[in-house]
Structure 1
Amino acid sequence: MAARAALRTTYARLLRHYRSHHSAPTPALVHTPHPYARAFGLVAVVLLGAWLGLLAVGSVRTPVGPMDTSMTLRPSLSGGTKINVSPLGALELDSHTAPIRLDVDVDQLDPVRSQALVQHPERITGLQDEITQDVADGTRELALRSCVAVVSGATALGLAVYRRPRRALAAGGLALALLAASGASAYATWNPKSVLEPRFSGLLSSAPSVVGNARSIVTEFDVYQKELARLVTNVTKLYDAASTLPTYQPDPGTMRVLHVSDIHLNPAAWEIIRSLVEQYRIDVIIDSGDTMDHGTAAENGFLDPISDLGAPYVWVRGNHDSRVTQRYLERLRNVHVLDGGRAVTVAGLRVAGTGDPQFTPDRSVAPAGDDAERAAGARLAAALGAEARAGRPVDIAVAHNPVAAQ
């Protein structure tokens, strides 16, 4: 009996040992993601895929009145509409509250449609209705394209991440639901009066002082309509003149020089110059003076943006620029001040110049007239001759006064 009991005990121990090593793991040992973690991961995939889809194909080009525009939806925390009018700046409207923003880029003014307005001025009366219809058509096309973009982007990214068609389709469906909810929120909070209170940036910051604010335009639309007709006429004439110019195709070695003069403390100057430098890939900027009005030290802060315009800045003194102005500019980075026939090589060009010998805002000094200008011009001519004899011929000579230049 004792032997039998010992045998049963041994057998039981062996059975427990076998089961402990060969049985399936208990559910407590199997790692399964938490439902919240899975949901968070799916939402992240949906948002990223939808955003990539909008970047890739979520944009439409549509005419709005005489302008060609591009419309795009972008993720946003506050919503609204942003209208970019490059290179003048932008204006923002609190048009709606939703996690999407409407970006409208004004690409160019179409000369054909502008010419039609000039030839048929009576059409300007219906321009507001035409623009409203164009915006509505563009928005509908944008909504359809955006649906395709977010569903495609989320589905494609879901398939790449999960490698399961059902999960990928779930990501696409969730993206469409989120876009629909955003659209419903935008529709529910739509504020048509936002166009009366736009926020301007860039050069457009001065727009209210130039053309009046939006409320005054609404109340005095007849006056605004006449000014709009004049603006369209002038811009169309500009396009017509430009269309007759010969096509210019510079070789890779062409130097692009931007000449500016008589800025006279205009605060819009630096934004215009910076935009031209970027648009036309300017190599060097030459300023032939009268950058200031009175040449006082208090005005010097106006000159600080020159260092960041994106191109070397060559400057000569005008009759409204003092020696104080000149000394301040000499200390600025990326600025070359020329005076007395001094020459420098900038961006591959040899430039010489002389400052204006007369400082007219100083009433205590009697102006010397053209004789002083001729003397300054003679000194510049002598400097040009010296440069040529030294084997450094000057490409460009700069003076402020036409008499000195002659």
Structure 2
Amino acid sequence: MGGRWALRVLIALTGALVAVLLFGRISAPIGPFDATLAFRPDDGGATIAVPPLGSIGVEVYNGPLRLDVGLQRVDQGRAQALASDPVRLAGVVDQVTADLRSAVVRLVWTTAGLAIAGAALTSLVITRRRREPLIAAAITAVVLVGTGGVGAATWRPEALSQPTYSGLLVNATSLIGSAEDIVARFDAYRASLEDIVGNVGTLYSALSALPAPGGDGASVVLLHVSDLHLNPSGFDLVEQVVEQFRVDGVLDTGDITDWGSEPENRLITSVGDLGVPYVFIRGNHDSATTAALVAAQPNATVLDDSTVTVAGIEIAGTPDPRFTPDKDTGDDDAGDDVLHASGERLLEVVEDLPSPPAVTMVHDPKQGRPLDGDVPLILAGHTHERRVAFFDEGTLLMVQGSTGGAGLRGLQGEYPEPLTCTVLYLDAETGRLQAYDEITLGGLGETEVTIQRRAVAQEETAEGATPASPTE
């Protein structure tokens, strides 16, 4: 008898869980956002995903189910109405709260119905007996009531003032204060929430309004990063942009670390979790050990006067010939001739190819000078200042800022250095650069995110563009 009931419970819960996982998701408006909500097996609490910024977790209740809320996009009509009406903006937190409460109630009923239906259907299919679906439905209803009871008994509203952050939101506590400060300064906390909602809404609105980069033709999307300097926030930015922009590959023009030492290299393993090809060239702060560890990551390639093809786009690259953290090498005093010689070695590789590579990667922009006129696009870093210019013979040079905000050295200046990266859109057939999105995230303690799309006209020439510095 006991075995029969155990089997009934197993069948009912399995059917209920499968039904919830497959179909237990709803869409709902939450303030200016269109969001999805779902319950997922876990140890309770709630998680709000805010791509590409990260997520917020709140341990507000216990139980076998976690509430997942994902902000998908911003409704331009609601966002514009919010931005143009100070009264609505002042009440945005109340509106978000009311919308979320209504959506959760609807999700609860939807999840309960699906669970009961899934349990009954599974029982009918397996047992082929008329009574069993009713028993399975009853078992599931009892479990749901118990789950709700556990959640109600362990409800902790004070946990709302103690969220945990991931991704680029890890600095949120420094922006809105500790839990004790929040209680004492609720008005300031509320204003900070309004700023976060407004900033994310602006970001999503900008993403929705951006023109198509390549017209009707297919595009390959590549992400250019550089000078991460071991900043965890920089790695979080890369992860979020890869997911949000559906990037086909990441191009890293070096200085992923500061000293190239063994302890620093532990964070590099996150490169293997991106799930897309990662092409790397060594910067002047990267050791041979660092390059080898990057090369060992899944889908990663380290270029050393060599080429690789990503999504049909051929990419050539050369490392920085210097390793400046090692003072015994004298690389700190190496002149421009060393950098030019590096570019000339890469030029020999390029000249042996059937056709020029669509993208060429160097660390220091000065390495790109010998390649002028022989390749269409050179990506570089090193200077920590984003710049786009043409060399004399028409080769486009794109220098990235610091995707890691220059690492710890970003704390040394009067103002925090921003985190930057660039999304490149290349024609899938010709490899020609069609457009690019410049993404800038405010440095430590700032929340501003800007995205600016720039189109590259087919007839654009060196005569009509900013020339590169003759020292590069």
- TM-score class normalised by the smaller sequence: 0.7 to 0.9
Contact 2:15 2:120 in 1 (8 A): yes
Q: Give me the TM-score of the superposition, normalised by structure 2.
A: 0.65
Shift of 1:381: 4.5
Tell me the equivalent position of 2:14: 48
CA deviations over 1:66-100 (Å, ceiling 9, x no partner): 33222223455x43333344455444433233444
Distance in 1 (CA, whole Å) between partners of 2:353 and 2:97 is 67
Root-mean-square deviation over aligned CA pairs: 3.7
Change in Cα spacing, 1:167 to 1:400, as seen in structure 2 (3 Å) is closer
Tell me the equivalent position of 1:344: 307
Change in Cα spacing, 1:154 to 1:314, as seen in structure 2 (3 Å) is closer
Map 1:4-403 → 2, pairs under 5 A: 34=1, 36-76=2-42, 78-86=43-51, 88-248=53-213, 254-278=219-243, 280=245, 282-321=247-286, 325-326=290-291, 329=294, 335-339=300-304, 342-347=305-310, 348-356=312-320, 372-373=335-336, 376-377=339-340, 379-381=342-344, 383-384=346-347, 387-389=350-352, 391=354, 393-403=356-366
Distance in 2 (CA, whole Å) between partners of 1:328 and 1:170 is 56
Shift of 1:376: 2.3
Change in Cα spacing, 1:374 to 1:117, as seen in structure 2 (3 Å) is farther
Task: Compare the two structures and name the one with the higher helix fraction.
Answer: 1
Change in Cα spacing, 1:152 to 1:349, as seen in structure 2 (3 Å) is closer
Q: Give me the TM-score of the superposition, normalised by structure 1.
A: 0.74
Distance in 1 (CA, whole Å) between partners of 2:243 and 2:12 is 37
Shift of 1:266: 0.8
Partner SS for 1:263 = coil
Change in Cα spacing, 1:180 to 1:246, as seen in structure 2 (3 Å) is same
The code of the aligned residue for 1:117 comes to L
Change in Cα spacing, 1:224 to 1:93, as seen in structure 2 (3 Å) is closer
Larger Rg: 1
Structure 2: gaps (5+ residues)? 370-472
Shift of 1:137: 1.3
Change in Cα spacing, 1:335 to 1:129, as seen in structure 2 (3 Å) is closer
Change in Cα spacing, 1:241 to 1:146, as seen in structure 2 (3 Å) is closer
Partner SS for 2:257 = coil
Distance in 2 (CA, whole Å) between partners of 1:345 and 1:100 is 45
Contact 1:358 1:368 in 2 (8 A): no
Distance in 1 (CA, whole Å) between partners of 2:120 and 2:294 is 58
Change in Cα spacing, 1:215 to 1:249, as seen in structure 2 (3 Å) is farther
The code of the aligned residue for 1:402 comes to P
Shift of 1:254: 4.8
Change in Cα spacing, 1:153 to 1:355, as seen in structure 2 (3 Å) is closer
Shift of 1:346: 3.2
Distance in 2 (CA, whole Å) between partners of 1:159 and 1:194 is 42
Shift of 1:40: 2.5
Contact 1:60 1:72 in 2 (8 A): yes
Distance in 2 (CA, whole Å) between partners of 1:324 and 1:163 is 63
Change in Cα spacing, 1:394 to 1:71, as seen in structure 2 (3 Å) is closer
Contact 2:306 2:349 in 1 (8 A): no
Change in Cα spacing, 1:272 to 1:162, as seen in structure 2 (3 Å) is same
Identity of aligned residues (%): 35
Contact 2:176 2:188 in 1 (8 A): no
Shift of 1:398: 1.7
Contact 2:45 2:58 in 1 (8 A): yes
Contact 1:284 1:346 in 2 (8 A): no
Distance in 2 (CA, whole Å) between partners of 1:298 and 1:174 is 53
Distance in 2 (CA, whole Å) between partners of 1:56 and 1:338 is 43
Shift of 1:205: 4.4
Contact 1:357 1:373 in 2 (8 A): no
Partner SS for 1:393 = coil
CA deviations over 1:158-203 (Å, ceiling 9, x no partner): 3333434343223323422332343234223322112123344455
The code of the aligned residue for 1:354 comes to T
Shift of 1:392: 5.4
CA deviations over 1:53-74 (Å, ceiling 9, x no partner): 3234433222222332222234
Distance in 1 (CA, whole Å) between partners of 2:273 and 2:115 is 39
Partner SS for 1:103 = strand
Distance in 2 (CA, whole Å) between partners of 1:106 and 1:240 is 12
Shift of 1:378: 5.9
Task: Compare the two structures and name the one with the higher strand fraction.
Answer: 2
Partner SS for 1:391 = coil
Tell me the equivalent position of 1:27: none
The code of the aligned residue for 1:186 comes to G
Structure 1: gaps (5+ residues)? 1-33
Partner SS for 1:256 = strand
Shift of 1:153: 1.9
CA deviations over 1:95-150 (Å, ceiling 9, x no partner): 23344433333333444333333222343432332223222212221232233223
Distance in 2 (CA, whole Å) between partners of 1:207 and 1:146 is 32
